[in-house]
């Protein structure tokens, strides 16, 4: 019952999340906070891709 909404959320999160990478990459990963934020967003994106992979419209 909850699987479909979780897959849909994962699918759309995987689509939208890379747009948050752009400002970080545009300003540069000069400090450890920026680098950790980028890596955290990347890990979250990979998780969203895994969860939303089987979503069918």
| Angle, helix 18-27 to helix 3-16, in steps of 10 degrees | 30
Given a cut of 80, is residue 13 above it in pLDDT?
yes
Given a cut of 90, is residue 48 above it in pLDDT?
yes
19 in any annotated domain = yes
12 in any annotated domain = yes
The pTM for the full model equals 0.84
In three state form, how does the secondary structure of 3-54 look? HHHHHHHHHHHHHHCHHHHHHHHHHCCCCHHHHHHHHHHHHHHHHHHHHHCC
Query: Domain range for residue 48?
Result: 7-52
47 in any annotated domain = yes
Given a cut of 80, is residue 34 above it in pLDDT?
yes
Length of the chain in residues, anyone? 57
18 in any annotated domain = yes
15 in any annotated domain = yes
Measure the CA angle with vertex 43, ends 48 and 24; round to 5°. 110
2 in any annotated domain = no
21 in any annotated domain = yes
**Domains held by the chain: number:** 1
């Amino acid at each position: 019952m909850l699987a479909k909404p979780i897959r849909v959320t994962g699918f759309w999160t995987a689509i939208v999340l890379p747009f948050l990478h752009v400002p970080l990459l545009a300003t540069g990963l000069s400090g450890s906070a920026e680098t950790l934020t980028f890596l955290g967003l990347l890990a979250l994106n990979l998780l969203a891709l895994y969860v939303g992979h089987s979503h069918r419209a």
